[in-house]
Amino acid sequence: MKKTGAAIVALVLAATPALADRKVDEAKAKAGEQIAKGKPDDALKTMQKLVGQNPTAEAYTELGRVQDQLGDLDEAVTSLKKAVELSAGAGGPARAAALAALAGLELRTASARDALAHAEEAAKLHPSPTTLAALARAQARVGNTAAALQTAEQAVQAGAASADAHEAKGEALLAAGKPAEAAAAFRKAAEADPRAHLARVGMAKALLAQGKAAEAVAEARKATELNEKSGEAFAVLGLAILAENKNNWNDAIAQAQQGAFLNPKNPYVQVAVGRLFEAAGNMQQATAAYNRALQSDPGYGPAQAAQVKALANSGKVEEALPVVEKLAQSNPNDPEVQLIYGRLLARKGDWVAAAAPLGKAAEALPSSAEAQALAGTAMLHTRQLPEALEVYKKAVALDPQNVAYRATYGLVLGLNKQYQEGIAELKKVVATPGYKDTAGYTNLGWVLRSIDPPRGPESVAAYQKALELDPKNAQAALGLGWALSLVDKYDEAIAAFQKATQLEPKLTAEAYNGVAWAHYFKKDMVQAKAMAAKARAEGRNVASLLSAIDRFEKGVSEAAEAARRSMQQEQAEESSVVVAGRTILNQRGAPAARVRALQEIVSAGASAVEYVIFAAINDPDLGVREQAFKSLASLAGAARGQCAQVKQVAFGPNPYDSLITQDRKQLDLAAQYGDVQKAARAASQRIGCN
């Protein structure tokens, strides 16, 4: 009898968990039906009855999920924390489910760091599609995109039919700056579960990132219809409405504020509200919204970036720059952060350092005219001319009324030897009613004197108009000197070159070269040689001029027209310099080829500096960077304007020394970077940096 009784007790105990699971499943199904029929109160009562009769971790987890779905977020957090508490002594799957659900809610109401800790524990206890998805989302949110992509892929492999897994993959891809791939993942999530409103929210975000505003509006509306309590759905709808039509601000802010009403603790929602207020010029309310986002999650990157943007817009560049630099390093795939960082560097005039972040921003923000234009200007300064043309064409197409963009676009057309197109564009710019910017006239002057044959008189007129608008425009004075040389007004050209030097000492080398050419055409070879020597001492390559002087002194003087062609070619740089420069800028090529190009290009003197400093700061190969600093040392005084960049590397920290891991690879990287720093210190000394 005892034996039979024990067996009965064992049977009852074994059956109890299965019975409890069945009750949870039945209540969950019933609540789902009640929500679908528009009876949310009945659904809530169903779940509350469940936990009253069966107070288990599983029951509280499902109660929390229903409360979350119904918009009772504070109550949902309480229920899920209770589930986690009750699961302390339960099996792995029960605790993992509770932790994963809590992590998902924390990403929308609290600190991402808390969500990450809970998701990590959940995935460790029970690596299911749901727990791995929760972990991937948390990793993406804190900026660990590489880990997020890997975890999301594991989630998909664990459950190819899991909407959670595909949604998490979409979030990871979006964080990695791959909106098109993210949209495909979100689409799979929506196909796996047509009721998954967050998949539609993600789809809208991905479409917005691709500049597809109308499609984003449609997806966001579907998300609000699927879950009318989703703050995030209304927030992304507001952003999409404004992106589709700037005149619909009232509708956009109403949708976003509805999102904030539904979930005031969601940092994404508050940042959306802030961005809409900022678009209307209301920085006070925008800042308040950003502050609310950071109250929920102090580490939320977009809110931090928005705050820093406000600081940067106040004109406090030096104060904002170190803050933004740190933020950009910790959020390498956030295009807004990269745009702010690049914009600040550009404002400081450091276009070499700005090239990389602005390039990322332009690629990830295809609908932002500003991102395209800034990236194009950075490419222009780093001599990536075909790339600059491509992005400036996009900027002008996005904002055709922006005459500043079009003025630079005309110049970039000319730099790419599309002279007629550049002249046509610039003539339209300067013909704009009320146009008084010197840039259009200065750029027009350059293209007119660079075309073959040059249009000297028109170029002179354009430069003179630029100087009439701004008598202190050094570039216009320099250009006027060259244009006057084309029309045989050499004394006036010399005066213009001298004025350029007075206005901007950095133009001394080029101005001396111009004066030397003017004396050559006046047949005063003594002065031509003297000024050529001064230009060369300042770092200017004067090989063509010296060759012309030598031929003249030997009685083999060339016709004036041929000499002018030599002068123009010298200004445009020798083809060998351009070829070497393109090799240096092409970071997809072999590092050995870039090293050879850096060794060869120094013969061009000052005109090589922009290519060399670009490689020294931006090249991904440490060996190439070391050679770049050696080349800068060879250029000596011609590179003096780059001292700030050189000293930053030479005397700054070795980033590989700070890594905790001490494996062979990291030790090698630290040693290689040490060689780069030695070369930078040698260059600093040779250049004469204080």
CATH number of the structural domain spanning residue 437: 1.25.40.10
pTM over 0.75: no
Domain boundary among 299, 331, 347: 299
45 part of a folded domain: no
- Classify burial at 690, counting beta carbons within 10 Å of its beta carbon; exposed 0-12, middle 13-18, buried 19 or more: exposed
SS3 annotation, 102-157: HHHHHHHHCCHHHHHHHHHHHHHHCCCHHHHHHHHHHHHHCCCHHHHHHHHHHHHH
Percent of the chain at pLDDT > 90 equals: 53
Q: Kindly report the backbone phi and psi dihedral angles of residue 417, in degrees, each rounded to the nearest multiple of 5, phi listed first.
A: 65, 20
**Placement of tokens 């987890």 in the chain:** 61
CA 19 to chain centroid, in Å, comes to 54
Domain encompassing residue 350: 317-520
Q: Taking residues 155-174, report their average pLDDT.
A: 94
Q: Taking residues 281-285, report their average pLDDT.
A: 88
Please give the pLDDT value at position 322.
Answer: 83
Please give the pLDDT value at position 281.
Answer: 87
Give the model's confidence band at 8: pLDDT under 50 very low, under 70 low, under 90 confident, else very high. very low
* Whether residue 346 is found in the same domain as residue 412: yes
Q: Taking residues 360-378, report their average pLDDT.
A: 90
Q: Is the pLDDT of residue 381 over 90?
A: no
Mean of all residue pLDDT scores within the chain: 87
Identify whether the C-beta of residue 105 lies closer than 8 Å to the C-beta of residue 77: yes
Element housing 533 (H / E): helix 525-537
Q: Kindly report the backbone phi and psi dihedral angles of residue 586, in degrees, each rounded to the nearest multiple of 5, phi listed first.
A: -80, 90
More confident call, 326 vs 627? 627
Please give the pLDDT value at position 541.
Answer: 76
Q: Is the pLDDT of residue 311 over 80?
A: no
530 part of a folded domain: no
d(Cα 45, Cα 58) in Å, to the nearest integer? 17
**Closest by Cα among 186, 198, 196, 179 to 156:** 186
514 part of a folded domain: yes
Letter string b/e over residues 630-658, b meaning 16 or more CB atoms within 10 A of that residue's CB = bbbbbbeebbbbbbebbbebbeeebebee
* Whether residue 360 is found in the same domain as residue 249: no
More confident call, 177 vs 130? 130
Identify whether the C-beta of residue 597 lies closer than 8 Å to the C-beta of residue 568: no
**Placement of tokens 């400036």 in the chain:** 392
Half-sphere exposure of 62 (CA within 13 A, CB side): 28
**Closest by Cα among 455, 510, 505 to 481:** 510
* Whether residue 358 is found in the same domain as residue 263: no
pLDDT tens sequence across 42-67: 989 999 999 898 898 889 999 989 99
Letter string b/e over residues 443-455, b meaning 16 or more CB atoms within 10 A of that residue's CB = bbbbbbbbbeebb
More confident call, 578 vs 315? 315
**Placement of tokens 């528009």 in the chain:** 38
d(Cα 82, Cα 372) in Å, to the nearest integer? 50
Please give the pLDDT value at position 690.
Answer: 76
- Classify burial at 688, counting beta carbons within 10 Å of its beta carbon; exposed 0-12, middle 13-18, buried 19 or more: exposed
Identify whether the C-beta of residue 135 lies closer than 8 Å to the C-beta of residue 120: yes
d(Cα 371, Cα 31) in Å, to the nearest integer? 48
* Whether residue 200 is found in the same domain as residue 286: yes
Length of the chain: 690
122-126, long-range: CB < 8 A, 24+ apart: 122/95, 122/96, 122/97, 123/96, 123/151, 125/92, 125/93, 125/95, 125/96, 125/99, 126/92, 126/93, 126/95, 126/96, 126/97
pLDDT tens sequence across 498-552: 999 999 988 898 899 999 999 999 999 999 999 999 988 887 778 888 888 888 8
Q: Is the pLDDT of residue 3 over 50?
A: no
Q: Taking residues 265-286, report their average pLDDT.
A: 92
Which amino acid makes up residue 516?
Answer: A
Domain boundary among 299, 331, 350: 299
Structure tokens at 649: 């590397």
Number of H helices, E strands in the chain: 38, 0
**Placement of tokens 């009253």 in the chain:** 52
Identify whether the C-beta of residue 474 lies closer than 8 Å to the C-beta of residue 503: yes
629 part of a folded domain: yes
pLDDT tens sequence across 458-478: 999 999 999 999 999 999 999
507 part of a folded domain: yes
Please give the pLDDT value at position 514.
Answer: 93
* Whether residue 329 is found in the same domain as residue 433: yes
30 part of a folded domain: no
* Whether residue 389 is found in the same domain as residue 423: yes
Please give the pLDDT value at position 540.
Answer: 78
Q: Which of 293-302, 587-596, 665-674 has the highest mean pLDDT?
A: 293-302
Please give the pLDDT value at position 91.
Answer: 65
- Classify burial at 669, counting beta carbons within 10 Å of its beta carbon; exposed 0-12, middle 13-18, buried 19 or more: middle
Report how far apart, in Å, the C-alpha atoms of 182 and of each of 176, 191, 212 are: 9, 14, 14
d(Cα 34, Cα 591) in Å, to the nearest integer? 64
98 part of a folded domain: no
Give the model's confidence band at 559: pLDDT under 50 very low, under 70 low, under 90 confident, else very high. low
Q: Is the pLDDT of residue 100 over 90?
A: yes
Identify whether the C-beta of residue 372 lies closer than 8 Å to the C-beta of residue 391: yes
Which amino acid makes up residue 614?
Answer: F
* Whether residue 294 is found in the same domain as residue 321: no
Q: Is the pLDDT of residue 13 over 70?
A: no
Structure tokens at 595: 């090293």
SS3 annotation, 567-618: HHHHHCCCHHHHHHHHHHHCCCCCHHHHHHHHHHHHHHHHHHHHHHHHHHHH
d(Cα 473, Cα 479) in Å, to the nearest integer? 10
Give the model's confidence band at 660: pLDDT under 50 very low, under 70 low, under 90 confident, else very high. very low
Q: Taking residues 18-34, report their average pLDDT.
A: 79
* Whether residue 283 is found in the same domain as residue 321: no
**Placement of tokens 């740089």 in the chain:** 573
Please give the pLDDT value at position 185.
Answer: 96
150 part of a folded domain: no
Half-sphere exposure of 378 (CA within 13 A, CB side): 32
Domains of the chain: total? 3
Q: Is the pLDDT of residue 19 over 60?
A: no
Residues with Cβ within 8 Å of residue 213, at least 6 apart in sequence? 207, 240, 243, 244, 367
Give the model's confidence band at 18: pLDDT under 50 very low, under 70 low, under 90 confident, else very high. low
d(Cα 678, Cα 385) in Å, to the nearest integer? 32
d(Cα 385, Cα 17) in Å, to the nearest integer? 69
Domain boundary among 264, 299, 334: 299
SS3 of residue 300 by DSSP: coil
Please give the pLDDT value at position 558.
Answer: 66
Give the model's confidence band at 106: pLDDT under 50 very low, under 70 low, under 90 confident, else very high. very high
Q: How crowded is residue 538: how many other Cβ atoms within 10 Å of its Cβ?
A: 21
More confident call, 333 vs 201? 201
d(Cα 64, Cα 445) in Å, to the nearest integer? 69
Q: Is the pLDDT of residue 578 over 60?
A: no
Please give the pLDDT value at position 662.
Answer: 56
Structure tokens at 642: 């780059």
Q: Is the pLDDT of residue 73 over 70?
A: yes
* Whether residue 494 is found in the same domain as residue 596: no
Please give the pLDDT value at position 575.
Answer: 41
Helices (H), 267-350: 267-279, 283-296, 301-313, 317-330, 335-348
Q: Taking residues 439-453, report their average pLDDT.
A: 93
Please give the pLDDT value at position 221.
Answer: 96
* Whether residue 493 is found in the same domain as residue 392: yes
More confident call, 608 vs 357? 357
pLDDT tens sequence across 236-257: 999 999 999 999 999 999 999 9
Letter string b/e over residues 466-480, b meaning 16 or more CB atoms within 10 A of that residue's CB = bbebbeebbbbbbbb
* Whether residue 274 is found in the same domain as residue 199: yes
d(Cα 581, Cα 609) in Å, to the nearest integer? 10
Give the model's confidence band at 679: pLDDT under 50 very low, under 70 low, under 90 confident, else very high. very high
Helices (H), 419-473: 419-430, 438-450, 456-469
* Whether residue 413 is found in the same domain as residue 485: yes
Q: Is the pLDDT of residue 273 over 90?
A: yes
More confident call, 590 vs 562? 590
